[in-house]
Structure 1
Amino acid sequence: MMTETHFMSDLAIPPGEYLEEVLADLELNQAELARRMGRPAQAINEIIRGEKAITPETSIQLEKVVGVPAHIWSRLEADFRLIQANLNDRKEAKKEEVLVPKFPYALLAKLGLVEKTNSKIERVENLRSFFGVSSLFNLQGTRDYSPAFRQGSKDGLNHEALAAWLRAGTVLSKRDGCAEYSKKRLEQALPEIRKLTKRNDPSEFFSELRSLLCECGVSLIVIPHFPKTYTNGATFWSGKDRAVVMMSLRGSWADIFWFSLFHELGHILLHDKRSTFLEDGSHHPGRRKQEEEADKFAQVTLIPPAEFQKFVLAGDFSRDAIMRFAANLDIGPGIVTGRLHHEGLLPYTIHHGRVRYRFELANRCS
């Protein structure tokens, strides 16, 4: 079966120019064509000058009068208008070049989310495709990205970079092939996830962690911190059946990673699916309450309150005591030390059992 390939140039040639050539070959003038078609002479003249479109009805009339099939006229007209629209779009894209420096384009390219290029106009077009918008000026008013533009007013906060970070999480999560979300499965998986805090090397546990969460319908995406976003984590829903937890590589203490992860899982289990939660985000009283609830969920899940109270009352915060307490709880000792730091019971200069993680970029997505 033969397939017709139709190539389109960037040169917008009005179909009226072809019509003028056809009339010359037939030795017909515009006035005679108008009479044969039953159309005003001015309308024919406007078609030839490219000012008036050739409608389907006009295409049929032209076929009957000059013998060129109607689909040819319709295609010529459609191509002409589309090329014109593309040229106008490029002019608009030039205006968007001023926004390009606000996006972490090199990081997005490193993650394989946009094509590498130094051309500003190509970067505009690639960013439009990445975000799924017709203009980068539309980002702020788009529901999926508006949380990034509502983020707190920290000095130097780059809202466009934060929107790009969130979009990266959405795109990467769609490659996971996770199960539909199940609250019951997630709650049942928490003890197993909690045990992973004892591992000191992400290469030993990260794949298992992502698999555990994926089976519960939670896509875990860990990618580098984007400069000037000031966000360690985020939680949002990609459709009604897939939760996404994003973790940045900002900072590398293991206890902070695990607390942030359980904080985000708290949002999934406790809060509205329609919301996007950004750690270190909104200071709105309602959101602040939800952040406190997520903090509480992480604290209680990692270290049961009654057990922590007994440990604190004993008053021994030595390395050996922390290691024994962590072993009894079946968690990493750095979790205990981090909690003592938070409660002001141990100086931040003491790091009993704390470790730093080194994440490989390849671990971000399987």
Structure 2
Amino acid sequence: MTKQLYSFNPDYVVPPGETLLETIESLEMTQAELAERTGLTTKHINGIVKGKAAITPKTALQFERVLGVPASFWNSLESNYREKLAELEERKQLESEILWLRKLPLKVLLSRGWIKKSKDNIEQVKEALNFFGCASVESWTEVWQKVLHSSEVAYRKSATFESEVGAVAAWLRQGEVLGQDIKCKPYNASEFRKALRKIRSLTKEDPDVFVPKMTELCANAGVCVVFVPEIPKCRVNGATRWLNPSKALIQLSLRYKTDDHLWFTFFHEAGHILLHGKKEYFLEVANNTSDQEEEADQFASDFLIPPIQYNEFVKSRLTKQRVSAFADKLGIAPGIIVGRLQHDGHLSYKFFNDMKVRLDWSE
């Protein structure tokens, strides 16, 4: 013989009025008599019996005196009934919203352990909503559509944007989750600028050195920095937003996988924090050319490579030796110089790429 375990999850709920009816019948008491003894109307008692009226704490005390059954029993019975009723109503609602899961990068969320695998689609919807911190699919749609459509996101006008919302929202949400766990001092612009000057010198270090140091330096200035791997169809390499008025968040994806892109993106996001408002989301994607994005670009360019020195340098013949010497003089990674030269058209994208450091996620 084999032993099987069955999970019983009824799709109905028994109102506490049925227990009340059994109780008064065992006492050979009518609903009219109970009404008279409690001071309630017969209609009210009948409403409780049929589940149309609730047992309030006051009614529970009245039942305790008349029936000899503790008020806590009736309160618990009513509470459990209402809770189960809400669960059934929610399950019915979620059943109509299962298709929402198709908008999400569900395989990625599951494989990375951001949400748990559930026994059925309705439970999977619940898990996904828990991850996003939203009570319903409707509220998820309102929150994330509002965020993404109000952001300076170039591709929000594209025909494929709707299918990308789930991926972008998932990537951003994971950043929020990680950022909320980072303890930060209240934001201080002066301290953040000091931190950026120290972080600039960390561009020559390996990730196992610069990641914890830059995270600590920024946290002490009120900015949490998180690294979240890119999600397919997300196409965002960086993002900036404020978790609250005294705590900013910089989120990086390593989408382009070289140190010049990483550092330019980081200082670009830092520019948003220092130069722009606290109520906006900034998502870095290709062809994003708003005024604020251009200001952040300029901030990153000038902070990493002072313009006067850069303009003098590009007048000379470009060799790897000169690039290395210039990088040493500035105290930054040579890959940053190469990336800038390529971007500005002073150097072909085919040249000097071996001076960049490739970055990737460890398994």
**TM-score normalized by structure 2?**
0.88
Residue by residue, what CA displacement relative to the aligned partner does 1:289-333 show, whole Å, maximum 9, x if unpaired? Answer: 11111000000011111111111222x122222222222212111
Once the two structures are TM-superposed, the CA of residue 198 in structure 1 deviates from its matched residue by: 2.0
* 1:291 corresponds to: 293
Separation in 2, partners of 1:56, 1:190 = 59
Once the two structures are TM-superposed, the CA of residue 355 in structure 1 deviates from its matched residue by: 2.3
* 2:20 corresponds to: 19
The yes-or-no answer on 1:72 pairing with 2:73 is yes
Letter in 1 for 2:91: R
* 2:187 corresponds to: 181
* 1:3 corresponds to: none
Residue by residue, what CA displacement relative to the aligned partner does 1:190-233 show, whole Å, maximum 9, x if unpaired? Answer: 2221122223x322422222222222222111111111122110
Letter in 2 for 1:56: P
Separation in 1, partners of 2:100, 2:138 = 8
Residue by residue, what CA displacement relative to the aligned partner does 1:135-165 show, whole Å, maximum 9, x if unpaired? Answer: 02212323x7732244422453311221121
* 1:268 corresponds to: 273
Letter in 2 for 1:217: G
Separation in 1, partners of 2:282, 2:157 = 16
Q: CA RMSD in A?
A: 2.2
Residue by residue, what CA displacement relative to the aligned partner does 1:63-93 show, whole Å, maximum 9, x if unpaired? Answer: 2322222332222122111111111011112
* 2:314 corresponds to: 312
Letter in 1 for 2:221: C
Once the two structures are TM-superposed, the CA of residue 96 in structure 1 deviates from its matched residue by: 2.2
Once the two structures are TM-superposed, the CA of residue 348 in structure 1 deviates from its matched residue by: 1.1
Distance of aligned partners of 1:282 and 1:350 in 2 relative to their CA distance in 1, 3 Å threshold: closer
Distance of aligned partners of 1:183 and 1:145 in 2 relative to their CA distance in 1, 3 Å threshold: farther
* Mapping of residues 213-292 of structure 1, within 5 Å: 213-280=218-285, 288-292=290-294
The percentage of counterpart residues that share the same residue type is: 39
* 2:148 corresponds to: 148
Distance of aligned partners of 1:107 and 1:338 in 2 relative to their CA distance in 1, 3 Å threshold: same
* 1:329 corresponds to: 330
* 1:35 corresponds to: 36
3-state SS of 1:234 partner: strand
Distance of aligned partners of 1:188 and 1:77 in 2 relative to their CA distance in 1, 3 Å threshold: same
Alpha carbons 2:57, 2:71 under 8 Å: kept: yes
Separation in 2, partners of 1:75, 1:281 = 57
Separation in 2, partners of 1:209, 1:301 = 16
3-state SS of 1:238 partner: strand
Separation in 2, partners of 1:308, 1:344 = 14
Once the two structures are TM-superposed, the CA of residue 250 in structure 1 deviates from its matched residue by: 1.3
Alpha carbons 1:140, 1:149 under 8 Å: kept: no
**TM-score normalized by structure 1?**
0.87
Structure 2: segments with no counterpart, 5+ residues: 1-8
Letter in 2 for 1:89: E
Structure 1: segments with no counterpart, 5+ residues: 1-8, 362-366
Alpha carbons 1:183, 1:216 under 8 Å: kept: yes
Once the two structures are TM-superposed, the CA of residue 110 in structure 1 deviates from its matched residue by: 4.4
In the alignment of these two chains, the number of paired residues is: 347
* 1:87 corresponds to: 88
The correspondence for 1:300, drawn from 293, 297, 302, is 302
Alpha carbons 1:59, 1:73 under 8 Å: kept: yes
Runs of 4+ residues over 6 Å off in structure 1: none
Separation in 2, partners of 1:205, 1:55 = 60
Separation in 1, partners of 2:74, 2:286 = 56
* 1:212 corresponds to: 217
The correspondence for 1:195, drawn from 187, 194, 201, is 201
Alpha carbons 1:148, 1:160 under 8 Å: kept: no
Once the two structures are TM-superposed, the CA of residue 41 in structure 1 deviates from its matched residue by: 2.8
